Structure 1
Amino acid sequence: MTNWREDRIGSALRGENPTVLQRLPGGFAVIGDVQWLPGYCVLLTDDPAVGRLTDMPRARRLVFLESMERLGEAVERACAESDPAFRRINLEILGNTDPYLHAHIWPRYDWEPPEIVGRPVYVYPRQRWTDPATALGPRHDPLRAAIRRHLA
């Protein structure tokens, strides 16, 4: 069996990706492996051959973008309920690292360092992506459940 992290879309299609929150018309809503910004989610395309938004016909692009907006709103509502310091969400389609289409939904908080809070999350130190202290785990289950509830 392939490690789900090595085949995120294939493992989601097979029902083996533990980060999947819900299948949406435009792909899979997943909670991020890391949660240094609690509620971080990603919308994965359900077609691993799609590398960029422009690879899809216009109608399919709009479905993906609508699903991104739906996941963004669910994250926004769940984070606002769980943390009074919730500020806003950032929606990003970057495509610089992973070869498949995906969109990041980043919650932003007033407790973030002032020199970072108004900037892209990628100015955070690189080790944030591998810090075991912020790895997705059972302590994130209430937030995961709230995002699912708002997606329903």
Structure 2
Amino acid sequence: MDGTRDWREQRVEAAVAGRNPTVLAELPAAFAVIGDVQFLPGYALALTRTPGVDRLSDLPRPERLRYLADVDLVADAVETVCRRRDPAYRRLNVEILGNTDAFLHCHLWPRYEWEPPEVVGRPVWLHDPARWQDPATALGPAHDGLRAELTAEILARRDSPGFRLDL
């Protein structure tokens, strides 16, 4: 990746090169990253560590299972942090879509009771499109505490012999 490109243009390559500022932790098969938007606090993703991989089925089965194990690890950490931070936490949606961005990634969306009633039980993508561009919830210094908590939970699981899956 050439140095003139913005890290958002090639997120996986930027993570591999250590230039993706959203990276929370490196895992065996994925990068845990915090989402660019935080209108649902705790939104995170698991990016493949393999540049050029477009979909889950592009990975050989053992690597696919490693990636999914990392998704599970990040999901568990996100759920723990969100449950601790907000009593209105409901559940976590885990989604691999691949409809827009041509790199393997999994969205981890915390869901809350305080969401608008017309979307609280429906896919996150039905939230008002303005929420995706709202500067008030764009990732920034206001999220440093959340970022630190997510990183600590992810690293604790990554480094725990009881959580690791040897594939």
2:87 aligned to which of 61, 67, 84: 84
Q: Return the letter of the residue paired with 2:11.
A: R
1:66 is aligned to: 69
2:129 is aligned to: 126
Aligned positions of 1:21-36 closer than 5 A: 21-36=24-39
Determine if contact 1:79/1:143 at 8 Å carries over to the other structure. no
Quote the Cα distance in structure 2 between the aligned partners of 1:141 and 1:11. Answer: 21
**Partner deviation per Cα, 1:108-144 (whole Å, 9 max, x = no partner):** 0010011101001000122222211110011111111
The Cα of 1:41 is off from its aligned counterpart by 0.3
2:110 aligned to which of 104, 107, 112: 107
Quote the Cα distance in structure 2 between the aligned partners of 1:84 and 1:141. Answer: 20
Which ranges of 4 or more aligned residues in structure 1 deviate by more than 6 Å? none
Q: Return the letter of the residue paired with 1:92.
A: E
1:55 is aligned to: 58
RMSD: 0.9
TM-score by length of 1: 0.97
Quote the Cα distance in structure 2 between the aligned partners of 1:84 and 1:54. Answer: 37
Determine if contact 1:50/1:101 at 8 Å carries over to the other structure. yes
Q: Return the letter of the residue paired with 1:45.
A: T
In terms of mean alpha carbon deviation, does 67-76 or 80-89 score higher? 80-89
Determine if contact 1:37/1:107 at 8 Å carries over to the other structure. yes
Identity of aligned residues (%): 57
* Unaligned runs of at least 5 residues, structure 2: 156-167
Quote the Cα distance in structure 1 between the aligned partners of 2:83 and 2:145. Answer: 13
Q: Return the letter of the residue paired with 1:36.
A: F
The Cα of 1:16 is off from its aligned counterpart by 0.8
Quote the Cα distance in structure 1 between the aligned partners of 2:63 and 2:130. Answer: 35
SS at match of 2:8: coil
Count of equivalent residues: 152
The Cα of 1:48 is off from its aligned counterpart by 2.2
SS at match of 1:77: helix
In terms of mean alpha carbon deviation, does 141-150 or 57-66 score higher? 141-150
SS at match of 2:80: helix
Quote the Cα distance in structure 2 between the aligned partners of 1:149 and 1:41. Answer: 14
